[in-house]
Structure 1
């Protein structure tokens, strides 16, 4: 009977030692605090979003897919960047046309006036 009791005590000590060692090595399983409301772990540069930035986007997955607020935020940022680039392109094109230095041809063969007019009114901001 004493042998079984001694065996159980030694096993408990070995198990406790392994548990403490694993806790020291791997941490105490603490969860990270939740992100404050209105923030996201999704990262995009503040300006000059590139195709590589968009390709590298990763959204937090929740039970039913991606977190909608993060997707909405990223799409909003990309929309602002695209609008900014279009305004800059229109400004540069207008400056080139006024100075007569260069003639712009749209990739689809439309002039700047035609390409500006081809955007539906509902999509313009």
Structure 2
């Protein structure tokens, strides 16, 4: 035969889990629309992207995403290259 106290604890655990599930579900109410708090990656759409745009762009964080330091380093490098390409040519022949 099984122990009656084991069954009492099993029923109490199931009831507790059901209560937590009801609280988490909001007592049968539909879930609210999720609020998107991620920052927008603001890049211009009406003109070409410039070096300043690359310096100020920010991406949202994700659990499985890219390393922020690598993305920042690449954006900084691209912004520098765009600045050098846009700079007037120097006359080093002097």
Instruction: Output the TM-score relative to the length of structure 1.
Output: 0.31
Larger Rg: 1
Identify which of structures 1 and 2 has the higher relative contact order when contacts are C-alpha pairs closer than 8 Å and 6+ apart: 2
